[in-house]
Amino acid sequence: MKLTTGDLAIFGGVHAFLRPLYVGSPNAVDRDRLFDRLNWALDNQWLSNSGPLAVEFEARTAELAGVRNSVATCNATVALQMLCHALELTGEVIMPSLTFAATAHAARWVGLDPVFVDVDPLSGQLDPALVAEAVGPLTSAILGVHLWGRTCRAPELEKVASDHGLPLFFDAAHAIGCTLGGQPVASFGVGVVFSFHPTKVVAGFEGGAIVTDDDALAGRCAVCATSGWGRGPAARRAAPTAR
């Protein structure tokens, strides 16, 4: 039994396991199929700019999410930034106080001010009643987070957003494939961000995606991905440092 800090392996104590135990480990993959795909991409010399594999990835991600559109990104943090730009947000964005740091970083990096709201102590998810109380004159959007693969109270957040005329979007880095009331998480809000980081349920070495049923929003996100950071005031302020 480890009784003091010094007993912990990280501080020089005896290892309790032969191999380290990680919070998340990459999924096992079919290596032959993976290398066949990589060789195909290299042989055809089409690694970016809407290559066939990227188009297939977007189509399959949209199908999984149950929406019409998916825009592939290098990671989920950039996907959140692109959504903020595409929505032309300014001022403040309400988000949970319990989330990964990148949720708030994404907002700050594009010139927005995160407004942190407490979570339900039982679920760890954003409390819609407290979100309603936090809405102010500078609020431009609500950013919900589906934490640990558990969905937040999206229908209640949609009502708060509707009552105040605000867009609602979601950081679903932990929640690809999750449902709420039988509906995929991408059924709620104007847009949802997935992560394919190695620590996530579906790992792709790295990567992210924006999924949405809003065709116009998807188009603006695609423009952000290829030729700029949007046209809103926050986008113009952040553009020089975001590239």
Give the confidence band of 30 by pLDDT, cuts at 50, 70, 90.
confident
Average pLDDT, the chain: 85
From CA 130, how far away is CA 110, in angstroms rounded?
25
Q: Pairing mode, if any, of strands 208-212 and 191-195?
A: antiparallel
From CA 27, how far away is CA 63, in angstroms rounded?
21
236 vs 184, higher pLDDT: 184
Global pTM value: 0.80
For 139-164, b where at least 16 C-beta lie within 10 A, e where not — what string?
Answer: bbbbbbbbbeeebbbbebbbebbeee
Q: Pairing mode, if any, of strands 92-96 and 113-117?
A: parallel
Per-residue pLDDT tens for 146-188? 988 889 999 999 999 999 999 999 999 888 888 888 889 898 9
Residue 226: predicted pLDDT: 61
Per-residue pLDDT tens for 121-148? 888 899 999 999 999 999 999 999 998 8
Least confident of 24-33, 115-124, 145-154: 24-33
Per-residue pLDDT tens for 44-82? 888 777 788 888 889 999 998 989 999 988 889 999 999
Tell me which residue of 197, 194, 203 sits closest to 170, measured CA to CA. 194
CATH topology of domain 31-242: Aspartate Aminotransferase; domain 2 (3.40.640)
Predicted confidence (pLDDT) at residue 237 exceeds the cutoff of 60: no
Predicted confidence (pLDDT) at residue 230 exceeds the cutoff of 80: no
